[in-house]
Amino acid sequence: LSVVELVTIGTELLLGETVDSNGAWLARRLAVAGIRVARRTSVGDNADAIREAVRDALERTGRVICTGGLGPTDDDMTRPVVARLLGRPLEPDARTLEDVEARFRRRGLVMAERNRAQADVPRGAEVLRNRRGTAPGLLMEDGASRWVVLLPGVPHEMRTIVEEELLPRLEVRLADRRPIRSRTLRTSGIAESTLAERVSDVVRDAAPLTVAFLPSFAGTDIRLTSWGELDADSVDGALDAMERALRDRVGDHVYGLDGTDLAEVVAEELAARDTRLALAESCTGGLLAKRLTDAAGASRFLIGGVVAYSNQVKRELLGVPAHVLEAEGAVSEETARAMAEGARRVLSADAAVAITGIAGPEGGTADKPVGTVWIAAALAERVTARRFLFPGERDEVRQRSAQAALEALLQLLRSEEP
Amino acid sequence: LSVVELVTIGTELLLGETVDSNGAWLARRLAVAGIRVARRTSVGDNADAIREAVRDALERTGRVICTGGLGPTDDDMTRPVVARLLGRPLEPDARTLEDVEARFRRRGLVMAERNRAQADVPRGAEVLRNRRGTAPGLLMEDGASRWVVLLPGVPHEMRTIVEEELLPRLEVRLADRRPIRSRTLRTSGIAESTLAERVSDVVRDAAPLTVAFLPSFAGTDIRLTSWGELDADSVDGALDAMERALRDRVGDHVYGLDGTDLAEVVAEELAARDTRLALAESCTGGLLAKRLTDAAGASRFLIGGVVAYSNQVKRELLGVPAHVLEAEGAVSEETARAMAEGARRVLSADAAVAITGIAGPEGGTADKPVGTVWIAAALAERVTARRFLFPGERDEVRQRSAQAALEALLQLLRSEEP
């Protein structure tokens, strides 16, 4: 019974002018409350399309939450369309009209006539007051355990109504629900298919948890979800057990949980060891420095960096020997090592990481095709270096290079005998 | 006939863990091509839900584009489900298998057995090659003017297949459509409300074009759209006339059209003048360097930069005098000027731009609150500097700082007598 459908209404969604952040927020908020969204539908500001979408959802699932189309203008038609679909006449609601009028008064404005329609509610509907705008939410029950909720499309109004008015009412109606809960293990440095093979038997026995693999430039995430089969007392234990089983197989590639960024993990590790970092970037052109300074507090561990885009800077600021650049080229193990060592020395750092590669689309050769990247990490006198061949276009090569550099640095830090 | 439905597949969409950016991008891209999206549906990685959603869309509209669920793992089930729905057996496709194997080979990897299934295609399907990943797109015609397209869910793969493989095929199938076309004028250095006032009479007479103001960190965009009222012969003329009228009022703030990045404009200006640039960044921590190297060809004008996060780097690498840092502070006109001059000198550049500020959330004072940023630009012996107080949180302050630095540099370049 704790399954609903979402219908988001607005022509801008069909034109792709806005992402459906209302739908995403609602889905997330409902999941946390243990309510499962079975389907999301978006239609335009069009009476037929709205009626069809709500009718289909009612027939399939019986419980529908709509957002959008409750405003005062002519393209706002959700309320009359749904009222007609449920066979309920619209009638003025005195308290809502008062709320709307008071809202205008407080702002020193006179209510426009067209706002009056916003106080018309379908007969028998429960009004979900809108403290933050003029269009109230509406809850209409249609027989046993069938209902339709209408919410305004303005995000902060919608969210406030959901928190204050809707969720308390759904709690009562969906008393049988169990939490839907997810946990994501973030991995890097291992291909999705290799990962899937290594954990295939664990995944096979995961039920009632489900497992999904989500690849991106940052690596592959493994997401575990309990869809409400487990109750609040046992769900955490099941997720813990599953996490342990996965870590047994691929633990060295797991850098964090849920929203954790690898840059944060590296930052914590550096700060904990009181190790100060310098950067030397060629093809990533500042991307790694940007990532390490996205979060506040980078001054705890980051001294600074050199964007050594030209060979001149590699020579003059980082001290890469001219003969190395000539004999081995800017994209080579020797140059990467000299950049890391140079950055550490010149910036008086404890550790350094260097990236030099061919991000493309130009500059590739048979020997060193686009995507060739050398990464070196230095910690005191120890220097490691590794060659990568990344797929994809310029942006992807750069993103993957920064991620690999963070990984190389983390490995070097963790391999050190304390 | 130029109406389609989108079905995006992925349990994360029902959990609200990700916004449906694929659906939004597709809707937008199709609109530009004159193809209208009638409805968007999102379902989870669940065979019944996928089958129902695709079947319903086929019955309603007859033309369906799906994304997601084509990967190599068990929760990827779009291909077999849709193949069964259309009554087509899956058969190995030799060329696709070759593509997938070659992809692994190029990266020095052996293809995992489970990737083999990605080369199974429904009988009679047209394969839309995927240059950027392993899962190809598929186009299946089902009788007259009914078809289903399957696309992978990885955004950059999906986008490349749409541009290179799908749209050319849809052009042929949907010949009757009138274009929906937009043009965007990008402005910077002028507030949205000032902009709107200056062009208000132009906007009033814009019909049938619509005008939208879209503020962001990068400035305010003015977007003109023809929603299919004008045919292909007259739409460009109408957009041209409107663009001219707007440029008459605010032309000095317009830095480009559509997707133009201010960084590209600066890059062109530098390259055209054969002026070589150096950067000195404190609070933006490499963000400006990253932006200037996002596009290929930055070596034409960019020597490199220094991420001078600590005062030590400001002193030792950029030569900012210790007494300036002590007396005026790191966020001051004098420090910004010394950073720009230092970067120009140390990196042997013709021009330089420097950013020093307080991005927050910590570090603000009564005198220098969070958002205080000094930006200096140097060209030969001339140095300009300006103080900004940016609103917003850390990310916004950093983004706005980089944009303002580009603007300062562009003004300095253009103010020079050639």
DSSP string, A8-54: EE-HHHHHTSS--HHHHHHHHHHHHTT-EEEEEEEE-S-HHHHHHHH
CB-CB neighbors (< 8 A) of A297 in chain B: 362
Predicted pLDDT at B152: 95
Report whether pLDDT(B359) > 80.
yes
The whole-angstrom distance between residue A209's C-alpha and the CA centroid of its chain comes to: 21
The answer, for B47 touching chain A at a CB cutoff of 8 Å, is no
B/e letters for A165-197, b = 16+ CB within 10 Å, e = fewer, are bbeeebeebbeebbbbbbbbbbbbbbbbbebbb
* B416 band by pLDDT with thresholds 50, 70 and 90: confident
Instruction: Write out residues 55-84 of A within 8 Å (CB-CB) of B.
Output: 56, 60
Question: For residues B169 and B139, what is the distance between their CA atoms, to the nearest angstrom?
Answer: 9
User: Which residues sit opposite A3 in a β-bridge?
Assistant: A36
CB atoms within 10 A of CB A330: 23
Helix (H, G, I), strand (E, B), or coil: what is residue B177?
coil
CB spacing of A210 vs B359 below 8 angstroms: no
Predicted pLDDT at B220: 86
Structure tokens of B300? 């034409």
Instruction: Write out residues 172-211 of B within 8 Å (CB-CB) of A.
Output: 180
CB spacing of B313 vs A303 below 8 angstroms: yes
Report whether pLDDT(A269) > 60.
yes
Helix (H, G, I), strand (E, B), or coil: what is residue A142?
coil
CB-CB neighbors (< 8 A) of A193 in chain B: 72, 111-112, 114-115
Higher pLDDT residue, B417 or B214? B214
- In this prediction, residues A92-106 reach a mean pLDDT of 88
Nearest CA in chain B to A298: B309
CB-CB neighbors (< 8 A) of B20 in chain A: 19-20, 23-24, 40
Higher pLDDT residue, A113 or B413? B413
CB B313 within 8 A of CB A304: yes
- In this prediction, residues B180-202 reach a mean pLDDT of 86
Q: What is the ipTM of this complex?
A: 0.74
Kindly report, residue by residue over A332-387, the tens digit of the pLDDT.
Answer: 999 999 999 999 999 999 999 999 999 999 999 999 999 999 999 999 999 999 99
Most confident of A140-144, A211-215, A281-285, B115-119: A281-285
Which among A53, A288, A389 has CB closest to B107? Answer: A389
The answer, for B313 touching chain A at a CB cutoff of 8 Å, is yes
Share of chain A above pLDDT 70, in %: 98
When the pLDDT of each residue in chain A is averaged and rounded to a whole number, the result is 91
CB B404 within 8 A of CB B374: no
The answer, for A155 touching chain B at a CB cutoff of 8 Å, is no
Predicted pLDDT at A145: 79
Output the pTM of the full model.
0.74
Place of tokens 């329609």: A117
Report whether pLDDT(B1) > 70.
no
CB spacing of A285 vs B298 below 8 angstroms: yes
CB spacing of B317 vs A313 below 8 angstroms: no
| Closest alpha carbon to B329 in B280, B367, B279 | B367
Predicted pLDDT at B227: 75
CB spacing of B71 vs A215 below 8 angstroms: yes
Higher pLDDT residue, B43 or A101? B43
Which among B156, B286, B394 has CB closest to A287? Answer: B286
Instruction: Write out residues 6-35 of B within 8 Å (CB-CB) of A.
Output: 11-21, 23-31
Nearest CA in chain A to B113: A193
Report which residue type is found at A122: P
| Closest alpha carbon to A140 in A173, A177, A180, A96 | A173
Predicted pLDDT at A231: 86
Helix (H, G, I), strand (E, B), or coil: what is residue A134?
coil
* Inter-axis angle of helices B78-85 and B47-60, nearest 10: 50
